[in-house]
Amino acid sequence: MNQKREIFFSVDVETSGPIPGQFSLLTIGACNVDAPDQVFSCLLKPISANVDTEAMAVTGLSLETLALEGLTPEIAMRQFQDWVLTIAGKDSMPVFVGLNASFDWSFINYYFHRYLQSNPFGFSALDIKSLYMGATGSCWTDTRSSRMAATLHPQSSGNHNALQDALYQAELFRLIRAIVPGPSENPSA
């Protein structure tokens, strides 16, 4: 059986609110987890005027500026897809990795399907919080990035800039992966 090599992509987004479709994807940041110098970042034009004031305060972005400087969603998602597929190559499978992946993946999946009719990551995502919980036996409340950082001691930090956060998440993922036995090390495998 020929299994494709997995290429892990750390992805972070900033949005204008909690759900895709009603609120806008504002920025995407991504990196290859195992080659973090391979990065992607873009700003997107908003698809609606709906905002959650707390979400916008966190991002430091404005819909007016993004309407002028952002890419259309079609162009942004095409560029992101092309970058993912170029990094992954034909013989590898891209795997979406996120800190609270369910949130970030929901926007990315919605935008890929709405604007390109397909998602290069398929229909699933790998959640760093869940991996950490399984690797350490921690409780859910201990999966906040600040609590993970206190245990894992990463060199970088997050700051609500999508690319910086993707790089930070990639580092957390690598640190967690280092404490999890691989498939050949798993006694039940």
Report the interhelical angle of 101-116 vs 73-88 (nearest 10°).
110
* Per-residue pLDDT in tens (0 to 9) along the chain, 189 residues: 568 899 999 999 999 999 999 999 999 999 999 999 999 999 999 999 999 999 999 999 999 999 999 999 999 999 999 999 999 999 999 999 999 999 999 999 999 999 999 999 999 999 999 999 999 999 999 999 999 999 999 898 889 899 999 999 999 999 999 997 766 444 444
The domain ranges of the chain are 5-177
CATH topology of domain 5-177: Nucleotidyltransferase; domain 5 (3.30.420)
Q: Are 128 and 172 in contact (CB under 8 A)?
A: yes
| pTM check: above 0.85 | yes
Q: According to the model, what pLDDT value does residue 162 have?
A: 96
Give me the amino acid identity at 48: S
Q: According to the model, what pLDDT value does residue 186 have?
A: 40
Task: Please list the active-site residues.
Answer: 160
Q: According to the model, what pLDDT value does residue 158 have?
A: 87
